[in-house]
A = this chain, B = another copy of it.
Amino acid sequence: MAVHKKEEFTRKEQDLANFAKAMAHPARIAILKVLALRNECICGEIVGLLPLAQSTVSQHLKELKNAGLISGSIDGPRSCYCINWNAFEKFNSEFNSLFANLKVKNEKACC
């Protein structure tokens, strides 16, 4: 690749793409579901629910955290993750508005 071209797109396009990338693995979607199912965010049992090694799950959690979709407090031998609903809402509405913007321009199917 040599050079990154991603910076040459708009910030909004990059943000949406990053959000999408965070969702672009079934394991991470599964993790989000698990997090949502627990009202308490004692999330130690995530590893047991996924067909992945502990280190791999930890990596996915890190990516979700970097994307801002979850927040977590590490508390010694047990960590506590939960969904960052604010960020989630924000991205969801941005996604919807992207769809809406796309849709309004194009009424007739042409292919």
Contacts and interface: CB of A to CB of B under 8 A. Distances in A.
Interface of A: 5-6, 8-10, 13-14, 16-18, 20-30, 32-33, 36-41, 51-52, 71-73, 80-85, 88, 92, 95-96, 98-99, 101-103, 105-111
Nearest to A52: B5
Contacts of A98: 29
Given A10-B26, A14-B26, A111 B92 contact: no
A41 B5 contact: no
A26 B13 contact: yes
B33 A102 contact: yes
A37 B41 CA distance: 43
24 contacts: A5-B52, A6-B27, A9-B29, A13-B30, A16-B29, A17-B28, A20-B23, A20-B24, A21-B24, A36-B105, A36-B106, A38-B106, A39-B105, A39-B106, A39-B107, A41-B111, A72-B111, A81-B111, A82-B106, A82-B111, A85-B106, A85-B109, A92-B99, A95-B95
